[in-house]
Structure 1
Amino acid sequence: MKINHLNLTVTDVAASRAFLETYFGLECRAARGDNFAVLFDDDGFVLTLMKGREVQYPKTFHVGFPQQTEEQVDRINQRLLEDGYDVKPPQHAHGYTFYVEAPGGFTVEVLC
């Protein structure tokens, strides 16, 4: 059995969608204005975004985007940094990893 769908409630669907498309290659295949979007990755995983007024995920909640190499992790980190996101350099922890606060109120981990 494999999980193939996740719904995130976000404060800004358009900004969350643009972030996920720009940095992680997700593709929006359906949307209802600024209230709902359906994104797909290249493996068929479905990520839906629903607008909520107040979003408060637990402190440790995050969505992970694994990469194949440390160089890919570094490239994403550098691109986010250049685009003004508050990201720390990747570190070797449970993998080579860093976290970023995504627009819309959720955290993303990039790792290999």
Structure 2
Amino acid sequence: MSSKQWLAVAAWVCVPVAASAQQQQTLPNPLDANAPTAAVTYESAFKNYRASTDDSATPDKVWRSANEEMGRIGGHAGHMKDAGSAPAASPNANAPAPKQGGAMDHSKHH
């Protein structure tokens, strides 16, 4: 046998010995109310909280400045600059409205 084969055999022989040498862990009985358990620790979510040092940045002032900015630029990052004008007429603006409760022609969809 070669040295590699001897090492492989030795490793396989040592595996059960190493496994049996591990300490047996006894688990507490889950039905036992007096069983030992790990201590529960509490850590506040605000433990590392730092209050704002800038008094001018109160939420109401931030909201008001954001509102004024939206009004200045025309709303929604400028997308609604023409919000006061009438919407463009749709291509079917002159088409008659369908009758309520009547049969509709569904063949013209898509």
TM-score, normalised by the number of residues in structure 2:
0.17
In terms of Rg, which structure is larger? Answer: 2
TM-score, normalised by the number of residues in structure 1:
0.17
Which structure ranks higher in relative contact order (CA pairs < 8 Å, sequence separation ≥ 6)? Answer: 1
More strand by share: 1
